[in-house]
Structures are given as structure tokens and as C-alpha cells.
């Protein structure tokens, strides 16, 4: 019986559990032995392995986080750490490895693949910052969490005639801010990919209040800067009352959306099909509603840009 290892690495995201469940159950259904590796590359180097049966992945489909847990490891970035990982996998006869994680985790996965472990990547990050996939695991759930939070802020901002400046995650990418901003009908969206003019934004907000608006919302991607500082600048330039909110790790939790559950179920199925065909060294994703795959190298060399013309769409909506 061939063995498949599965781990989650880097920042967790909602839907990772659903991805593990799909990989494990589809693997078992197709005659593989499934091994769970705890705490990402850390557990790989420490040989923290466990056999997973169908029941072991029961009751996790709708839970955020990852029951295998996740970690970041500096040691794994060294050749010594990587050799330890390969030795542990070979000793236990693990032929294939599925890595659920973000860009950094993909770098590690590509190295393991080059070292002779047939490796696969599933895009596990809320940031939506992986090329050659329209979505990453957890991104949709995060958008829903952020959209709900904005609704709450809107209520109180409206009562007090204030401007709410909301900082969201995304590392150096603006996808969360842009998508959640459009979904929430906000007044301005600041993302690292595009320049902005704080005077122009302040003027626009002031005009809005003069026309009778009772609140305004400004979305700030963390890659742009701190919401608190931007709120102060807007207050200075517009004279409006501002409040800043950093949504923080709230965005990374919660039950995965139906979309994330189906998306991950499809990728889990596909990865087992690729293993059966002995295609390896690839990362999966979704493009135009198809589950697709590309070599790690192709992903590393692809342009990482805002997908679609969403900012243009937004500009016509405000």
C-alpha cells in the first residue's frame, strides 16, 4: 500500500480541515494509506506522524483552523532541516506529500520535490496571493467575516456620524480589502498595488457628509499602512470624526463557507487523481471554475497581480 502524507503549513486558513478531510477520505477510498503530519514542516522534521483513518477526519468539515495544526519553521529553511524531513519521510515509506499552505510553504514543497519526495501544493492562505488560481483556501470565508464586521461598524458609525477606517489582512496584497470593500459598498479602498491620494479621499468623504451621508467607510489593506495613522490623516484633512479598527486574526477564524468546503473537496479529489497518474511537483488551484495544476516553478515565475479589473469596477460604484 502506497503512503501519502499530508500537512498544513504557514498561516492557517478556514477550509484547511475540509482539504485534509478530502485528501484523506479520497486517498483511503482509492487504496492509499494516509499519514497526518502535525505542525507543518516542524512536525515533519520531528517525525510527528500519525496514521489517519476515515473517522479521524470526521467532524472537522465545518471547523476553522487545522486539526493537524500549523507552524512556521526557520530550521526547515536550512539544508540540514530539509534533509531531516526527507530522511523521516523515507524511513516511514511515505511516497507522496501534500502540503496545504501559502507561498512560503510552496517554496519548501518545491525543495522536497527536488529532493525526491513527490510533492503537491494546495493553496492554503486567506490572502489570495498565489498566482494561477482564482481563489485560495479560506479567502471566501474571510471575505464573509470581514463583510459582517463592516456591517457592525456601519451601525455605530452611522449613529455618531463618523468615518470608519478598517484595516484588514493580506500581507502585501490587497485582495481582501478590495473584494470585501466592494461587497460592503465602502467609500474608499487603499491597497498596496495602487497609489492613493489622502487629500482626494478626505475631500470626497467631506463632500459625502455635506450631501447628507451619516457615515463613511474606508478599507485599508495592511500592506498600505496602519489604519490608526490613516484615520488621523483623514481627520486632519477633512475635519470629520474618524475611528480606526484593526480586524486582525478574527479574519482567519470561523466556519468555512460553502464555497471553501466545495473548493477544497474538489482539490482533495484532484490531488489523489494526480498521484494515481504519477504527476507530481505541482500545485493545484481553480481557474475559470476548473480545478487546474501547474508546476511549482511555473507558479514562482508567474506575475502576482490583482486578479480581474475589480478596482476599475469599484471606481464606478462610488
Write out the three cell numbers for 278: 504519477
Interacting residues with ligand ADP between 263 and 302 (CB under 6 A): none
CA distances from 74 to 77, 79, 94, 105 (A): 5, 11, 23, 12
Residue 49 phi/psi, 5-degree rounding, is -110, 150
Residue 175 touches which member of ligand ADP, ligand F6P, none, C-beta under 5-8 Å by kind: none
Interacting residues with ligand ADP between 16 and 75 (CB under 6 A): 41, 72-73
Closest-CA residue to 36 (of 22, 19, 54, 24): 24
**Is residue 161 within 8 Å of 58, Cβ to Cβ?**
no
Residue 126 touches which member of ligand F6P, ligand ADP, none, C-beta under 5-8 Å by kind: ligand F6P
- Indicate whether 76 belongs to the interface with ligand ADP (CB under 6 A): yes
- Indicate whether 112 belongs to the interface with ligand ADP (CB under 6 A): no
| Interface pick for ligand ADP out of 77, 204, 213, 226 (rule CB under 6 A) | 77
Write out the three cell numbers for 118: 513527490
Cβ neighbours around 48 below 10 Å, total: 17
- Indicate whether 140 belongs to the interface with ligand F6P (CB under 6 A): no
- Indicate whether 11 belongs to the interface with ligand ADP (CB under 6 A): yes
Q: Which stretch binds ligand F6P (CB under 6 A): 58-66, 107-115, 125-133, 255-263?
A: 125-133
The smaller minimum CB distance to ligand ADP, of residues 101 and 268, is found at 101
Is 187 one of the catalytic residues? no
Q: Which stretch binds ligand F6P (CB under 6 A): 123-131, 188-196, 200-208, 232-240?
A: 123-131
SS3 263: helix
SS3 243: strand
Rounded (10°) CA dihedral 170, 7, 99, 61: -70
**Is residue 61 within 8 Å of 18, Cβ to Cβ?**
yes
List the catalytic residue out of 12, 103, 127, 260.
Answer: 127
- Indicate whether 169 belongs to the interface with ligand F6P (CB under 6 A): yes
The smaller minimum CB distance to ligand F6P, of residues 19 and 275, is found at 19
The smaller minimum CB distance to ligand F6P, of residues 127 and 140, is found at 127
- Indicate whether 118 belongs to the interface with ligand F6P (CB under 6 A): no
**Residue 231 belongs to what H/E stretch?**
helix 227-238
SS3 147: helix
CA distances from 212 to 164, 207, 216, 219 (A): 16, 9, 11, 21
Interacting residues with ligand F6P between 172 and 231 (CB under 6 A): 222
**Residues linked to residue 123 through DSSP beta bridges, in sequence order:** 101
Shortest separation between residue 60's beta carbon and ligand ADP, angstroms: 20
What residues contact residue 305 under an 8 Å CB cut-off, 6+ apart? 193
The smaller minimum CB distance to ligand ADP, of residues 111 and 218, is found at 111
Residues of this chain that interact with ligand ADP (CB under 6 A) are 9-11, 41, 72-73, 76-77, 101-105, 107-108, 111, 125
- Annotated catalytic sites, by residue? 127
Residues of this chain that interact with ligand F6P (CB under 6 A) are 11, 102, 125-127, 169-171, 222, 252
Amino acid at each position: 500500500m502506497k503512503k501519502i502524507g499530508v500537512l498544513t503549513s504557514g498561516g492557517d486558513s478556514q477550509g484547511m480541515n475540509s482539504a485534509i478531510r478530502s485528501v484523506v477520505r479520497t486517498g483511503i477510498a482509492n487504496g492509499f494509506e494516509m499519514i497526518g503530519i502535525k505542525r507543518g514542516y516542524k512536525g515533519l522534521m520531528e517525525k510527528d506522524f500519525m496514521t489517519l483513518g476515515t473517522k479521524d477526519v470526521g467532524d472537522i468539515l465545518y471547523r476553522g483552523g487545522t486539526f493537524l495544526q500549523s507552524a512556521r519553521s526557520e530550521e526547515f529553511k536550512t539544508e540540514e532541516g530539509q534533509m531531516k524531513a526527507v530522511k523521516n519521510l523515507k524511513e516511514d515509506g511515505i511516497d507522496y506529500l501534500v502540503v496545504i499552505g501559502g507561498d512560503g510553504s510552496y517554496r519548501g514543497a518545491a525543495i522536497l520535490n527536488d529532493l525526491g519526495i513527490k510533492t503537491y501544493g494546495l493553496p492554503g492562505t486567506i490572502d489570495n496571493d498565489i498566482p494561477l488560481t482564482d481563489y485560495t483556501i479560506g479567502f471566501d470565508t474571510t471575505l464573509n467575516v470581514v463583510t459582517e464586521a463592516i456591517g457592525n461598524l456601519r451601525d455605530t458609525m452611522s449613529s455618531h456620524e463618523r468615518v470608519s477606517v478598517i484595516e484588514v489582512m493580506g500581507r502585501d496584497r490587497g485582495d481582501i480589502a478590495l473584494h470585501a470593500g466592494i461587497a460592503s459598498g465602502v467609500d474608499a479602498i487603499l491597497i498596496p498595488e495602487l497609489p492613493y491620494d489622502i487629500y482626494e479621499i478626505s475631500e470626497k468623504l467631506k463632500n459625502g457628509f455635506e450631501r447628507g451621508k451619516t457615515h463613511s467607510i474606508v478599507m485599508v489593506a495592511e500592506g498600505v499602512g496602519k489604519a490608526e495613522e490613516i484615520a488621523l490623516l483623514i481627520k486632519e484633512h477633512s475635519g470629520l470624526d474618524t475611528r480606526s479598527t484593526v480586524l486582525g486574526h478574527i479574519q482567519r477564524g470561523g466556519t468555512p463557507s460553502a464555497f471553501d468546503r466545495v473548493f477544497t473537496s474538489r482539490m482533495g479529489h484532484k490531488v489523489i487523481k494526480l498521484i494515481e497518474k504519477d504527476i507530481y511537483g505541482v500545485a493545484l488551484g481553480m481557474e475559470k471554475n476548473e480545478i487546474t495544476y501547474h508546476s511549482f516553478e511555473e507558479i514562482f515565475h508567474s506575475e502576482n497581480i490583482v486578479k480581474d479589473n475589480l478596482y476599475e469596477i469599484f471606481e464606478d460604484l462610488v
